[in-house]
Structure 1
Amino acid sequence: MPVHFKIVVDCTDPHRLAAFWAEAMGYQVEDHSSFIAGLLANGVVTADLLTEVDGHHAWKTLAAVRNPDDPFDPASDAGQGMRILFQQVPEAKTVKNRLHLDLHVGRDNIEPEVQRLEALGGTRLSDRFDENGAAWIVMGDPEGNEFCVHS
C-alpha cells in the first residue's frame, strides 16, 4: 500500500516561508482558524500557542501550504494531498539541504521564473546549469533553503 506523506521544512518563520512557497508554487496557505476556534472554545488549546496572520488565528510555530486542486479536510483546511508543512525550530539553517524541491517550469521559463521568485524574496545561488539534457538554476528561499528552478 502506498504511504501518504507531506514534506516538512524546519525554519525560523513558518508563516513567511508558507507565504513564499504558496506564491512560488501556486499553492494555497492553509487556513486553520476555524479549527483553532473550536479548540479554543473547548479549552483544548490556549492563546499562547497562537499568532495572528492576515487577521485570523494561526498556529504560532506551524504553517502549511497545499495544492489547491487536491482534497482537503473542510474542518481544519489541512490538505490531504500534496502538502508542505513549515515548523519553527530554535536553530537557524547552517548547512546545505540534504533534500530539496525542483520546480519544473520548462526550459524557456527558467530565467523569468527565477526573476519572479527573486521578487518574492528568493535568492539566486548559482549560474544556469545545462547538463545531460536538463537545465536548472539553484536558488534559496527567504531562509536560505536550497531549491532548483528546473526545465
Structure 2
Amino acid sequence: MALGWKLVIDSANAPTLADFWAEALGYEVEDPSALIEQLLAAGHLPDQAVIEHRGRKNFRGFAAIRHPDDPFDATSGVGKGRRLLFQDVPEPKTVKNRLHIDVHSDPGGLDDLVSRLETLGATRVNEVNKGPAGHWWVMRDPEGNEFCAA
C-alpha cells in the first residue's frame, strides 16, 4: 500500500518562503484561518501562537502550500495530496541540501522558467549541461535552499 507524504522544509520565515514556492510551482498557499479562529474562540490556542500574513491568520512558524487540483479539508485548509510544509527553525542553513526539488519547464522553456524564478527571488548558482542527459540550472530559493530548474 502506498503511503501519503508531504515534504517539510526548514525555514527562517515560513510564510514568506511558502509564498515564493507557491508562485514558483503554481501551488496554493493553504489558509488555516478558519481553524485558527475556532481554536482561538474555544481557548485551545493562545494568541501568541498566531500571526497575520497577507491579511490571513497563520500558525506562528508554519505555512504550507498544496497543489491546486488536489483535495483539501475546507475547515483546516490542509491539503490531502501534494504538499510542501515550511517550518521555522532557530538555526540558519549551513550546508548543501541533501534533498532538493526539481522544477521542470515546458520543452524549450528553460530560459523563461529561470528568468521567472529570478523575478520571484531565486538566484542562479550553476548551469549544468550534460548533453543528451540533460541541461538545467542549480538555483537557490530566497533562503538559500538549492533546487534545480530543468
Matches for 1:42-61 after TM superposition, within 5 Å: 42-61=42-61
User: Are residue 127 (structure 1) and residue 130 (structure 2) matched?
Assistant: no
> What secondary structure is seen at the aligned counterpart in 2 of 1:19?
helix
Letter in 1 for 2:147: F
Q: Which is further off, 7-16 or 131-140?
A: 131-140
Spell out, residue by residue over 1:107-127, the C-alpha distance to the aligned partner (whole angstroms, 9 max, x if none).
411111111111100011112
Alignment partner, residue 29 of structure 1: 29
Alignment partner, residue 94 of structure 2: 94
5+ residue gaps in structure 2?
Answer: none
Matches for 1:8-87 after TM superposition, within 5 Å: 8-87=8-87
* TM-score calculated relative to the size of structure 1: 0.96
Kindly tell me the number of residue pairs found equivalent between the two proteins.
150
Ranges of 4+ aligned residues in structure 1 off by more than 3 Å: none
Spell out, residue by residue over 1:48-95, the C-alpha distance to the aligned partner (whole angstroms, 9 max, x if none).
011101112111100000001000011111000000000000011000
Percent of aligned pairs sharing the same letter: 48
Q: CA RMSD in A?
A: 1.0
Report deviation, 1:132. Answer: 4.0
Report deviation, 1:131. Answer: 4.0
> What secondary structure is seen at the aligned counterpart in 2 of 1:126?
strand
> What secondary structure is seen at the aligned counterpart in 1 of 2:108?
helix
> What secondary structure is seen at the aligned counterpart in 2 of 1:125?
strand
Alignment partner, residue 111 of structure 2: 111
* Partner Cα distance (1:67, 1:100) in 2: 18
Report deviation, 1:129. Answer: 2.3
* Partner Cα distance (1:11, 1:132) in 2: 35
* Partner Cα distance (1:47, 1:78) in 2: 21
Spell out, residue by residue over 1:18-70, the C-alpha distance to the aligned partner (whole angstroms, 9 max, x if none).
00000000000001000100000011101101110111211110000000100
> What secondary structure is seen at the aligned counterpart in 2 of 1:87?
strand
Letter in 2 for 1:21: W
Report deviation, 1:106. Answer: 3.3
5+ residue gaps in structure 1?
Answer: none
Letter in 2 for 1:115: S
